Structure 1
Amino acid sequence: MRHSRNQVMSSRRNRVLSAWAVHAFTLTGVIWATLALLALFDDDPKLMWLYLGIALVVDGVDGTLARKAEVRTYAPHFDGVILDSIIDYLTWTLIPALFLFRTGLLGEGALAVILLLLITVSSMFCYANTKMKTGDYYFLGFPAAWNVVALAIWLLDAGTAVNAIIVIVLALLTWAPIAFVHPLRVARFRTLNIVATAVWILASAALVIAYPTGEPWIAVVWVLSGAWVILTGIIRTVAATRALR
């Protein structure tokens, strides 16, 4: 009887330790965010993107680990959802927005400030929206993925006018009934979504390392893999629209 009780206690202790280990893993996002911010202040964009890339990978897998470790059961007094949202706002929105502002990619003067505020404020309607995700785990509206947008703007360097249009349109899409895929959680095309996302991350890393030069074929792979992720959301949006008719 005592042996059985000890086994139960040991098992629970291991589950508690596992839950806190996942929280600690998520918490590393704060470290990567801080290092990315320091790199931005040091005008080292490649190093900044490295840290934001690591944060992206952490954010991509910590939710799955948290559900597997049952953190809400075994570490109930520490809210991983709030922690994740804070880190996401830093790494997905604020730091990329400051990067666009600091590098002059948003233009100068009042225009740059307005676009910066448009990014930071519109994103709050994503993070504070309790209905941001559909029942099948798509994001409904642009999910404040400004790290992806900022990287594309930096690599493409299309000019202030184009950059401003991109920012305004995407900010407005925050409130649009358009689906954006969550590569790991959406069941439909999950394998393709994960592969496309992984390829996009690797291609992004290669382009950042080689910037301002780079192999054209890597750029093509980068565009195509990113286009697939966008396309899956469009497919879901069209299907939902037809279902309402």
Structure 2
Amino acid sequence: MPEHPRNKVITAWAVHAFTLTGIIWATLALLALIDNQPKLMWLYLGIALVVDGVDGSMARAAEVEKYAPNFDGVILDSIVDYLTWTFIPALFMYTTGLLGTGAASVILLLLINVTSMFCYANAKMKTNDYYFMGFPAAWNIVALALWFIGPSPGVTSVVVIAFSILTWAPIAFVHPLRVKRLMPVNIAATAVWIGASALMVAGYPNAGPWTTALWIASGVWLVALGVVRSAAAAWKSA
């Protein structure tokens, strides 16, 4: 028996509501940052990351464009992403001193927030095989890594400038839940990275060697996929 259209509409709006929780997690993360509770902030950003990772598949399965056409989930998703992937992590780097002090830190903060808009507003951000083309403004991942490593402001400045430039670079970055090539392995690597990150945040500033090794290995795997994809595309066009 076919499902009643009313149930389809309810399901579509339920998916939108699920995506909308990203605003809640972003707000709570910002409050935790203001209260100088970085571990709590990363917890909320981690929850937002998981929501962002699965809501797209849910939206496509629920056919939200057909059954809830007057509410643009893509715009909502972009707003949540900008807050949780870029804006709050950038503020975290600024308030914790990772960006240094004085005018230079403000310039780096502005550089992150402004260049990221060229990712979110880029109509051709994804390739036909669902890789991101150029650095996808994943400043939450960069900020987390810098927090773990604790480099000097000079090194952080170089990292921020480099990733800002990579926004326009013809380098692919994998979307682990959409790229079909090695998808089960990519999803597993993503789950390992998230789990290892959670353990490292909980134990900060101390991290076990095995947790660190898993965090590095899973991260290298995901980055390497984009490097291989970029090299193959360059070889093909040469």
Alpha-carbon deviations, 1:8-30, whole Å to 9, x = none?
7x710000000000000000000
Q: Does 1:218 align with 2:218?
A: no
Partner of 2:116: 123
Q: Does 1:103 align with 2:96?
A: yes
Write the letter of the residue equivalent to 2:143.
Answer: A
Aligned with 1:156 (options 149, 152, 159):
149
Write the letter of the residue equivalent to 1:215.
Answer: G
* 3-state secondary structure, aligned to 2:167: helix
* 3-state secondary structure, aligned to 1:82: helix
User: In the aligned structure 1, how far is the partner of 2:114 from the partner of 2:28?
Assistant: 23
- Would you identify which runs of 4 or more consecutive aligned residues in structure 1 move more than 2 Å? none
* 3-state secondary structure, aligned to 1:105: coil
Q: Does 1:57 align with 2:60?
A: no
* 3-state secondary structure, aligned to 1:175: coil
Alignment of 1:129-144 (within 5 A): 129-144=122-137
Length-normalised TM-score, structure 2: 0.99
Partner of 2:181: 188
Higher gyration radius (CA): 1
User: In the aligned structure 1, how far is the partner of 2:175 from the partner of 2:200?
Assistant: 23
Write the letter of the residue equivalent to 1:108.
Answer: T
Partner of 2:8: 15
Shift of 1:158: 1.4
Partner of 2:63: 70
* 3-state secondary structure, aligned to 1:78: coil
Shift of 1:161: 1.1
Gaps of 5+ in 2: none
Shift of 1:112: 0.2
Shift of 1:198: 0.5
Q: Does 1:86 align with 2:62?
A: no
| Percent of aligned pairs with the same amino acid | 66
Length-normalised TM-score, structure 1: 0.96
* 3-state secondary structure, aligned to 1:135: coil
Alpha-carbon deviations, 1:159-201, whole Å to 9, x = none?
1111111100000000000000000000111111111110000
What do you get for the CA RMSD once the two structures are aligned? 0.9
Alignment of 1:16-55 (within 5 A): 16-55=9-48
Q: Does 1:230 align with 2:223?
A: yes
Write the letter of the residue equivalent to 1:45.
Answer: P
Gaps of 5+ in 1: 1-6
